[in-house]
Amino acid sequence: MKKDQRLHREPDRRVRRSLVVALATAALLAAGALTVVGVRIEQVHLAYRLDSLRSERGRAQDRIRQLEIEVATLRSPSRIEARARQIGLVVAARDQIRLAKEYVAGGTGLAAAGRRAASLPVPRPPAQ
Strand, coil or helix: 121: coil
Positive or negative: CA dihedral 17, 20, 21, 22: positive
Is 109:103 a contact under the CB 8 Å cutoff? yes
**For residue range 40-93, what is the model confidence (pLDDT) as tens digits?**
999 999 999 999 999 999 999 999 999 999 999 999 989 988 999 999 998 888
Residue 79: which residues within 8 A CB-CB, separation 6 or more? 73
Helix (H) or strand (E) holding 95: none
pLDDT reading at 120 higher than 70: no
Which residue ranges make up each domain of the chain? 16-75
pLDDT reading at 34 higher than 90: yes
